[in-house]
Structure 1
Amino acid sequence: MSSLKLTLISQVLLLLLVENSWALICLPCSEFECQELLCPGGKVLGPCGCCYECAKQKKESCGGPFGTDGECDLGLKCVTRGHFGANIGVCEEEQLSDDNEFIELLKARLTRRGGNHD
């Protein structure tokens, strides 16, 4: 099992599907130690909001219940196609349609860069 999956398992105590509703229960952040990461791109907070994980790159899986399959790196978006109920997608390049979207992407990049000090 990959270290990413082990980290996720250590953070998520329970992910259940009960009567068509998902439930996510996380351990308190003080219960585990965040790992040092070497990522090919940016870092994003994991689904429990305690530790950073590597942002997903182009053609990697993303989304899922509570974002348990990860979040795409800047400039990419999570595209779902026909995955009923699970919201699991694949990271694809984000097409910016106007200057406002470009400015928002730059703001997000600056905000995320400032938040990467873990």
Structure 2
Amino acid sequence: MPSVRMLTAGVASSLFALAAVVVPATTAQAAAQADSCTQNWSISSTEGHASGQWCNYNTKIKGTVTDDRADGRCPFVRAYMSGGSYKDSPWVGPKGTSKYFELTAWSGQSFTSVAMKYVAC
């Protein structure tokens, strides 16, 4: 029977060690989510408008895009990056619909500009 007690104690200490590892990771994730947003941006087209903020040295963009017309076109924001690629916000529709979005640049890149685009919807 002594071997069973030792096994139980070993499992308990392993579970305690696992719990100790999980707690700091949760704290680190909460700290990483704090954004430093320093500048505002806004853009519009005949299909809709959008506005938001440049964050974290232009490595993140936050904003809201809105569809302004019942024209079968759903607007979205295209954010261009320093490496030549881009990321798109969700598109919105019908007229009067808005969506909040957050875009994060690829590693080692930053956002350089935003443009309004649309899709047929």
Normalising by structure 1, report the TM-score. 0.23
Which structure carries more strand by proportion?
A: 2
Which fold has the larger relative contact order, with Cα–Cα distance below 8 Å and residues 6 or more apart in sequence? Answer: 2
Q: TM-score, normalised by structure 2?
A: 0.23
Q: Give the number of the structure whose alpha-carbon radius of gyration is greater.
A: 2
